[in-house]
Structures are given as C-alpha cells and as structure tokens.
C-alpha cells in the first residue's frame, strides 16, 4: 500500500517536472494560484442558485461531512433508481436532472424525502430544499440527519443565529474564521 503512495507522489513530481521542461511553467502551482485569483469572479458569474449550491456543498465538506448524505443526485434516466432509494432514505433531498452538468446544478426535480416518504417536491433549488428541510426538522422536532450534525448545527447557529452562544468546537473554529474574513473586508 505504501508503495502505491510513493508511485503516485513520484508520478506527480514527474508530470510537474516534464510540464516545466516543456512550457517553463510550474503546472500545479500555476493552476492553483490562478484558481485562487479567479475564484471570486468565477463564483460571481454563476447563477445565484448554482452559487448557493456550491457554497452549501463547500460548507458540508469544510465541516468534514459527506455531501451525498444530504444531496442525492440522479440523471433523468435514473428516476426509477432514485425512487427505490427514496424508500431507504431517512432524510435527504433528491435532485433529478438532465445529463449535462448545468441542468444538474439547477435540477429539474428537487424533492425532500423523510423516512422513505417524499414530503415536498418541485422545489426550485438545492438551497431552497435545504432551507425547507431545516424548517421541517424544527417544525416536526426531528433529529438532524445522520452524518450531517455539524452542517445543520451551522445552519442553526451560524446562518440562522439560533442558540448561537453554544457551539461545538468545530463550529466555533468556522465562526471565528468567518468573523476574521468579515473583519478583513
């Protein structure tokens, strides 16, 4: 197993070195720096619903949780498979989309499923589905979905500012970083 890691690391070094010899440009650092410089403009150029979905997914990943626990994405031709998955789902929302990436970000059908039952459908965006799910959790006094404790704690305590005085250590760190960023602006 360790040998595979060495091979992968060495392969990256070889690819970077070969690219540098061919172009005189540092491949990885150049791409990362460009992404860093252009990320704000890139995000600003996106439709607001796509931007919100990107931020939602980033928040989940930043908190160390799995996006697929909350958002189940299927192509339109996989609708039957998605409906079978409904039955096994405790709490998530399903996005059924056309085959291209843009329509998947916008979704053609977004539904919330709780305990195997589709409770809301025809939602306009992933962010709206997330807001409605958060509202349902509160209205029905449900526990946060398995594997998404920190994400929903962030919605409650940072985004909605409900009971924000008591946060887990992970959320305290996120909140501090967000405050630093706001002060920087």
Q: What is the pLDDT of residues 21-67, one digit of tens each?
A: 999 999 989 998 998 888 888 888 888 888 899 999 999 999 999 99
Closest-CA residue to 67 (of 75, 77, 59): 59
Checking if the pLDDT of 1 tops 80, the result is: no
Q: Which of 118, 94, 88 is nearest to 108 (CA)?
A: 94
Provide the Cα torsion 40, 45, 46, 49; round to 10°: 80
Rounded to the nearest 10 degrees, what angle do helices 27-44 and 48-62 cross at? 130
Rg (CA), the chain: 20
What pTM, to 2 d.p., does this model score?
0.78
Mean predicted lDDT score pLDDT of the chain: 86
Query: Which pair of structure tokens corresponds to residue 108?
Result: 């053609």
| Better-predicted residue by pLDDT, 137 or 44 | 137
Q: What is the pLDDT of residue 101?
A: 55
User: What confidence category does residue 76 fall into, taking pLDDT thresholds of 50, 70 and 90?
Assistant: confident
């Amino acid at each position: 197993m360790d040998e595979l890691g060495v091979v992968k690391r060495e392969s990256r070094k070889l690819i970077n070195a070969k690219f540098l010899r061919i172009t005189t440009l540092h491949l990885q650092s150049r791409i990362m720096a460009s992404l860093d410089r252009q990320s704000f403009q890139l995000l600003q150029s996106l439709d607001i619903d796509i931007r919100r979905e990107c931020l939602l997914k980033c928040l989940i990943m930043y908190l160390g949780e799995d996006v697929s626990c909350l958002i189940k994405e299927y192509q339109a031709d996989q609708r039957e498979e998605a409906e079978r998955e409904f039955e096994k789902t405790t709490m998530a929302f399903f996005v059924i989309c056309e085959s291209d990436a843009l329509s998947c970000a916008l979704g053609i059908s977004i539904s919330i499923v709780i305990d195997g039952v589709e409770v809301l459908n025809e939602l306009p965006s992933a962010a709206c589905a997330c807001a409605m799910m958060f509202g349902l959790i509160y209205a029905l006094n449900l526990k946060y979905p398995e594997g998404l404790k920190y994400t929903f704690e962030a919605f409650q305590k940072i985004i909605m500012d409900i009971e924000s005085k008591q946060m887990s250590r992970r959320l305290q760190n996120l909140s501090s970083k967000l405050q630093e960023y706001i002060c920087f602006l």
